[in-house]
Amino acid sequence: MKDKKRSSGILLPVRSLPSPYGIGDIGPAAYRFADFLSSSKQSFWQILPLNHPHHGGCYSPYSSISAFAGNTLLISPELMVKDGFIKQADLQKKPRFLKGTIDFKVVVKYKEQLLNIAYNTFKKREKKREGYKSFCLHHAFWLDDFALFMALKEKFNDKCWNLWPVEIRDRKKSVLKQLKLELKEEIEKEKLLQFVFLKQWAQLKNYCNKKGIGIIGDIPIYVDYDSSDVWSNSKIFKLDKNTKKMTALSGVPPDYFSATGQLWGNPVYKWNILKKTNYSWWFKRMHHNFDLFDRVRIDHFRGFVAYWEVPAGKRTALNGKWIKVPAKDFFSKLLKRFPKNSIIAEDLGFITQDVRDVMDYFGLPGMKVLQFAFGDDLATNPYVPHNHVENSVVYTGTHDNNTVKGWFKNDAGKETKKKLFKYLGYKVGIKDISIEFVKMSLMSVAKLSIVPIQDILSLGEESRINKPATIKNNWKWRLKGDETTRSVTKLLAELTKKYGRA
């Protein structure tokens, strides 16, 4: 994708697309959304991570069982019918799914039935295995460990890997070799599902690219402790040598989202070991993501300069400390392989001068969120439009924010609204606030403007995707199916052309 001088796009997680199967997927609705983006003169579709989430948790896309494997819940049933993995009749026996939300328990049960049918069909059709075999060879560096990990999770009733028998926990080669024979079918099924997922995704990305739409992906800085990555690469994480338990946890100090900070609980990296390996694991991860996406947003960018480390056992993130990272060495080598205009640095929260220095040194664009613009001094607040810089990405809000309408109604106090009206030069009601923020975003000097679909549609707090530092009712929202009307398409196209982003 060529880097246009001024462009814009929409933020919408794949899971939040409308679908008759309980969760958004890579099927027909995704193609229709690409058509909407093209018709409304957009250049980008930003999504959240596609990684395989933990089942049984809150299904956060930032809490994954693998940094490489795709979320098989996003596999399209319709496209599996088209490819002959399942029959149309298999789709008829589905539960009544709720519109506008995801009931993960019901979705998982239903999708697993379909995926089992797909695997049983695959086993009977040897002639279809050619593409599959080459896929397995190409992705072996992560796929082999992931598939074995998933098979072992099933064998040990989903227990965390550090509770497995010691010889399996510590990856004794002879034992793993025997397990691969014992669990051959379970392993092959996991590989097949990843094959189907990545095939469907590649087709969708190709469709978007042909329409001039680039995909912006999202890379979480950390991986989950109970993941195939930590089990198979334990030496690059801060773990106890004997028990393999975490000795330090990830998080952030107190900020806009939480007065006690956020204790994420992921294992932190041994950057000295990563450096000795020439950052091999990270570069493989980045290469994999650039196969999936045209650009990537690196979540929690400041953690690549210095990260907040909390001793294991603490209940909050208050008693942590900053640990420096060899940022310049890492990014110097990284950007020799990947173009810097393909990376967006998530630089929200507590950002120190050393982080800004690294971003400036490498010319990496940061984020400007308009919901943060009207709290402090309007003259100097970096999120106010007149303080934006060209090399940045402006957002009305992110997946962690309320919708603009929800923010205006429930979060913005009298003083904030007063400053907002003063800045606009007129008062705005709740009916028009979302579109005013969309206009501010599009007219910004920032090279790229990204607007969550909820703000294009003027949706309220009920359409919020995530509320940081909480675990209930997150990641469930999705479109009902009839929201991107002709009038919405026309308005967005007109605004995009008006502000020179078409």
Other beta carbons within 10 angstroms of residue 234's beta carbon come to 18
Length of the chain measured in residues: 502
Answer yes or no: 182 catalytic.
Answer: no
Give yes or no: 346 in active site: yes
Helices (H), 379-413: 404-406
CA distance 184 to 193: 15
The 3-class SS string of 151-217 reads HHHHHCCCCCHHHCCHHHHCCCHHHHHHHHHHCHHHHHHHHHHHHHHHHHHHHHHHHHHHCCCEEEE
pLDDT for residue 1:
43
State the Cα angle at 142 between 138 and 145, rounded to 5°. Answer: 125
CA–CA dist 433, 426 (Å, integer) = 11
Identify the active-site residue in 294, 400, 436, 455: 400
pLDDT the model gives residue 111: 96
What is the phi-psi region of residue 247: left when phi exceeds 0, alpha when psi lies from -120 to 50, beta otherwise?
Answer: alpha
Catalytic residue from among 346, 347, 436, 455: 346
214-219/295-298 β-pairing: parallel
Please name which of 241, 115, 258 lies closest in space to residue 190, comparing C-alpha atoms.
Answer: 115
The secondary structure of residue 477, as a DSSP letter, is B
In the DSSP assignment, the letter for residue 402 is: P
The 3-state DSSP class for residue 294 equals coil
**What mean pLDDT, rounded, does the chain reach?**
95
- Percent of the chain surpassing pLDDT 90: 88
- Tens-place pLDDT, residues 388-430: 999 999 999 999 999 999 999 999 999 999 999 999 999 999 9
Asked if residue 250 lies in contact with residue 267, where contact means CB atoms within 8 angstroms, the answer is yes
**Distance (Å, rounded) from C-alpha 204 to C-alpha 207?**
5
Q: What's the rounded Cα separation, in Å, for the pair 183 and 147?
A: 10
Q: Which amino acid belongs to residue 275? A: K
Amino acid identity, position 379: A
Q: What is the pTM of this model?
A: 0.96
Question: What CA–CA distance (Å, rounded) separates 400 from 256?
Answer: 11
423: part of which helix (H) or strand (E)? helix 414-424
pLDDT at 471: 80
pLDDT by 10s per residue, the chain, length 502: 445 589 999 999 999 999 999 999 999 999 999 999 999 999 999 999 999 998 766 899 999 999 999 999 999 999 999 999 999 999 988 999 989 999 999 999 999 999 999 999 999 886 566 789 999 999 999 999 999 999 999 999 999 999 999 999 999 999 999 999 999 999 999 999 999 999 999 999 999 999 999 999 999 999 999 999 999 999 999 999 999 999 999 998 877 667 888 899 999 999 999 999 999 999 999 999 999 999 999 999 999 999 999 999 999 999 899 999 999 999 999 999 998 889 999 999 878 999 999 999 999 999 999 999 998 789 999 999 999 999 999 999 999 999 999 999 999 999 999 999 999 999 999 999 999 999 999 999 999 999 999 999 999 999 999 998 788 889 999 999 888 889 999 999 999 999 999 9
Please name each of the domains of the chain with its CATH number. 7-498 (3.20.20.80)
Extract the tokens encoding 112: 């697993």
User: Contact, 102 vs 23, CB < 8 A?
Assistant: yes
R_g over Cα of the chain: 23
Cα–Cα distance measured from residue 70 to residue 416, given in angstroms and rounded to the nearest whole number: 41
The pLDDT value recorded for residue 375 is: 87
> Rounded to a whole number, what is the distance in angstroms from the first to the last CA of the chain?
15
Given the residues 294, 299, 309, 436, select the one marked as catalytic: 299
φ, ψ of residue 269 to 5 degrees: the values are -80, 150
299 noted as active-site residue: yes
Structural contact between residues 298 and 343, judged by C-beta atoms closer than 8 angstroms: yes
**Distance between CA 157 and CA 146 in Å, rounded?**
16
CA distance 465 to 60: 10
